[in-house]
Chain A
Amino acid sequence: MSSALNEALVFECETGNYHTFCPISCVSWLYQKIEDSFFLVIGTKTCGYFLQNALGVMIFAEPRYAMAELEESDISAQLNDYKELKRLCLQIKQDRNPSVIVWIGTCTTEIIKMDLEGMAPRLEEEINIPIVVARANGLDYAFTQGEDTVLAAMAQRCPESVNKKKEPSNLTDQSNHPPLVLFGSLPSTVVTQLTLELKNQGIQVSGWLPSQRYTELPTLGEGVYVCGVHPFLSRTATTLMRRRKCKLIGAPFPIGPDGTRAWIEKICSVFGKTPKGLEERESKIWAGLEDYLKLVRGKSVFFMGDNLLEISLARFLIRCGMVVYEVGIPYMDKRFQAAELLLLQKTCKQMNVPMPRIVEKPDNYYQIQRIREFQPSLVITGMAHCNPLEARGIDTKWSVEFTFAQIHGFTNAREILDLVTRPLRRNDNLKALGWSKLVKN
């Protein structure tokens, strides 16, 4: 990182008193993504209550996840953890017969020091189903980082590439570059879209982590290049580099047309390819967004921070012509996000706007004081704050929607702006009625 960058970027760190989802929420999208998996969350009623309420109606579709609910006798070690888990996993095997059981460790298993990593291999052998252990707990992580812990654990389970020669053997698929594996969970339609974008540049994606099925995990090993699609996957990246000896391509993330183009260009440059037609493609996408851009230009945004997508989204919104006052973020990995930060800085310069302050581990109370002061056009925040802010006449967008909507690639840029402009469009309609402040005093 250049020193110029360090000067321009201001990182602050607050108290960490902020609202976010518990990282165990990752089971909600991962069980859908990995079709032959079963997620077992080993925790208490609190975890279960969060899952059943946060995931709403999905709970009724016989999900492939469950709680192993710890009772008082488990906490006080009157019962044997191993026997208990074996009993439950056998039941899961009988009812669902999954290809993998993922154990999600929680705060409670951390505190009572339940040795999940130690038990898993023994039990795996006994019941003959792979057991992957991910410690997605609220003591260490926030929201989307849950996926990071699961994928980092899964990266260890990917088959080793048999051929360790310099030139990989899969020249049969006409690719003239080393194998490329992308990591990050995305809906299968978005996977297809991004794969196609790279194919257009003559780049073959040899696999995704995670794959649609556990049994189809990609081959990893020395000489394999990997690239992330989400900003919150720093542990997975580290695991892929250190444990699986893969080469990490550090690129901005394919969120927004600017991010997507930079992401493709970076991958092309690593493989020594000249990107074709990307500039036209990007400008065509921007042109298609003009109706939304008109709405957002000159407006201001405040990210309270809860899902780690904030830097990429802020960068995209600045490019759209918005002013970002503050980017709150639960955790900032400056190395994994280096390219993204650089692009953010470049974008600010290009659009001639000041750099936003980046606040790690924000304090929601102080942030609300700042929001009152700045009166931003839009606050992107969690559901705990949305209604109270709306009642005070401040437009909000619920941040969790960005994690569930399809926002990656050229094709989905419109989706992001659809989300961002929705409160603006709705409240424009209501403004004339004169009742935007709905609290007394």
Chain B
Amino acid sequence: MKLAYWMYAGPAHIGTLRVASSFKNVHAIMHAPLGDDYFNVMRSMLERERDFTPVTASIVDRHVLARGSQEKVVENITRKDKEEQPDLIVLTPTCTSSILQEDLQNFVDRASRESESDVILADVNHYRVNELQAADRTLEQIIRFYLEKAKKKNELPESKTEKPSANILGMFTLGFHNQHDCRELKRLLNDLGITINEIIPEGGNVTNLKNLPAAWFNIVPYREVGLMSAIYLEKEHQMPYVATTPMGVVETAKFIREIASILNSLTSVNSALGLTKNVNFDDYIDQQTRFVSQAAWFSRSIDCQNLTGKKAVVFGDATHAACMTKILTREIGLHVACAGTYCKHDADWFREQVLGFCDQVLITDDHTQVGDMISRLEPAAIFGTQMERHVGKRLDIPCGVISAPVHIQNFPLSYRPFLGYEGTNQIADLVYNSFTLGMEDHLLEIFGGHDTKEVITKSLSTESDFDWSPDGLAELKKIPGFVRGKVKRNTEKYARQKGIRTINVEVMYAAKEAAGA
């Protein structure tokens, strides 16, 4: 047992549900007790989703505990098949159902005989993998299922697309700025003359998965989700992949060069594809770096000079924390005192990535350790998750949010990619704004706060007029601070009208009723 207040990555089924509900016309059925469908609330609220989240529960209750699910799961699957006619139904085990040890695969086999939809059982172990690992695995499982199916039916595409094309793997619902990143990547690839074959899973159709091998190569923008699928596609369908995250000026350039080298290697082995000369994106990179992205210029400007050597702490998922560490050190000239990630399963990769870019590495999923580290190092700014933002609030250190877990304000309506050249601009703003705020705060402290006199004349000075009885005062204290003044004023106004001298609890509530608020 572990005493825990907060966690960075959610339970496994959340990952499965995120992948399943990102596809179009895929329905997930959770084998779960009442109340475990909280995922629907998160998706509906955080993403402000207009459609009903295609997730329902096959409820595990006392009867199921006593007699087993029996027909219930199969009935729920076939019912959903008739109601919504999805292409695929994913039966999702939860922590509860996994200890019941029912033969869910058997239910799936039976249900798939009776329903039009395909039915699969998400293959994740609740006690061994977290949300991100489960998402990675489920995505691979679904892709594998449809490619094997297509292979059996001889429906796999016979050749590559005419023009160079790519699949983007791992964009999905509730991902940190994923939708914006996706748009930015599309733009980037378009600039390079590469068409997009499929984007999976966000907005994709499972019926199109058989077309995946038609692309020349795969792109995995985030390390956490999509890598397993890319590796599978490489092994089974000989598709190369790019797993460099195009975040920051240097990494974006590296990403583009990797694409170039893949394209060149492909054309050299297969000139039948029609490309005669090698592609070279160096001019494009140069143009974008120096003039489209403002980040290169920003780091040269004197504003940014003031940031030189300032201490920062970075924490987040492996992808974002590693990229951010490199950007801060290499591109902005900050001093990263500590870089860390909660992706413990990917610790080696992370260490290797940030080697030489920070003083020390912290691999933990315990937020108190991160908090202690921050308070010990006293950085000038933090780049982390929502949890680090709150640590920063407590310690009076500004924080830029760079990674999930996140709140609703990290699902902005406006265009805010972290990837590609526009992403570099966004990151530069984020970094700069964190620090200027910090600086302003610091100066204010030195000069003794804002130069404003407290407005005392406007407030009703009624202290001499009324007696507050002890119970009235006690009651007043219970009212939250931000409305207490208003309540006090209204009550005294009421008391004045009624000619009451002493204010007790009853007068307070009489006043509230009279005011009608």
**Which A residues fall within an 8 A CB radius of B?**
16-17, 19-24, 42, 44-46, 48-50, 52-54, 56, 59-60, 63, 66-72, 74-75, 79, 84-85, 87-88, 91-92, 107-108, 110-112, 137-143, 188-189, 192-193, 196, 284-285, 288-289, 365, 368, 382-388, 391, 410-411, 414, 438-439
- B41 CB contacts on chain A under 8 angstroms: 19, 53-54, 382-384
Name 20 A/B residue pairs within 8 A (Cβ), A-sorted: A16-B34, A42-B1, A44-B126, A45-B126, A46-B13, A49-B14, A52-B5, A69-B1, A70-B1, A108-B95, A138-B35, A138-B36, A139-B33, A196-B505, A368-B52, A384-B40, A387-B48, A387-B50, A391-B50, A438-B50
* Contact status B1-A107, CB under 8 Å: no
**Which B residues fall within an 8 A CB radius of A?**
1-7, 10-11, 13-14, 32-38, 40-42, 44-45, 48-53, 56-57, 59-62, 65, 76, 83, 94-96, 99-100, 126-128, 130, 387, 390, 407, 475, 478-479, 505-506, 509, 512-514, 516-517
Give CA–CA (A279, B335) in the complex, Å.
72
| Set B2, B7, B32, B53: member contacting A71, Cβ < 8 A | B2
Question: Which among B34, B99, B127 has the greatest number of chain A C-beta atoms within 10 A?
Answer: B34
* Contact status B49-A88, CB under 8 Å: no
* Contact status A387-B44, CB under 8 Å: yes
| Set B13, B50, B479: member contacting A388, Cβ < 8 A | B50
Give CA–CA (A107, B94) in the complex, Å.
11
- A49 CB contacts on chain B under 8 angstroms: 7, 10-11, 14, 38
Using A16-B59, A50-B38, A189-B479 as known contacts, say yes or no to A68 and B2 having CB atoms under 8 A apart. Answer: yes
Give CA–CA (A56, B34) in the complex, Å.
21
- Name the residue on B nearest A365 (C-beta): B83
Using A66-B5, A72-B128, A142-B35 as known contacts, say yes or no to A45 and B10 having CB atoms under 8 A apart. Answer: yes
* Contact status A410-B38, CB under 8 Å: no
Give CA–CA (A53, B44) in the complex, Å.
13
- Name the residue on B nearest A384 (C-beta): B40
- B7 CB contacts on chain A under 8 angstroms: 45, 48-49, 52
* Contact status B506-A111, CB under 8 Å: no
Give CA–CA (A91, B390) in the complex, Å.
24
- A383 CB contacts on chain B under 8 angstroms: 41, 44-45
- For the complex with contacts A17-B59, A414-B516, 11 further pairs of A-B residues with Cβ separation under 8 Å are A44-B126, A52-B6, A67-B5, A85-B1, A88-B3, A111-B100, A189-B478, A189-B479, A383-B45, A391-B50, A438-B50
Give CA–CA (A383, B46) in the complex, Å.
11
- Name the residue on B nearest A195 (C-beta): B505
6 tightest A-B CB contacts, nearest first: A22-B35, A138-B33, A384-B40, A391-B50, A72-B127, A45-B11
B54 to chain A, nearest CB (A): 11
* Contact status A88-B1, CB under 8 Å: yes
A37 to chain B, nearest CB (A): 16
| Set B5, B6, B60, B479: member contacting A107, Cβ < 8 A | B60
Give CA–CA (A107, B64) in the complex, Å.
12
Question: Which among B35, B40, B505 has the greatest number of chain A C-beta atoms within 10 A?
Answer: B35
* Contact status A189-B50, CB under 8 Å: no
Give CA–CA (A173, B45) in the complex, Å.
51
| Set B95, B478, B514: member contacting A44, Cβ < 8 A | B95
- A42 CB contacts on chain B under 8 angstroms: 1
B237 to chain A, nearest CB (A): 35
- B40 CB contacts on chain A under 8 angstroms: 19, 384
- A143 CB contacts on chain B under 8 angstroms: 35
| Set B38, B49, B57, B514: member contacting A53, Cβ < 8 A | B38
- B1 CB contacts on chain A under 8 angstroms: 42, 68-71, 74, 79, 84-85, 87-88
Give CA–CA (A402, B517) in the complex, Å.
17
| Set A69, A365, A410, A411: member contacting B2, Cβ < 8 A | A69
Give CA–CA (A79, B2) in the complex, Å.
12
- B53 CB contacts on chain A under 8 angstroms: 384, 388
| Set A46, A288, A365: member contacting B56, Cβ < 8 A | A365
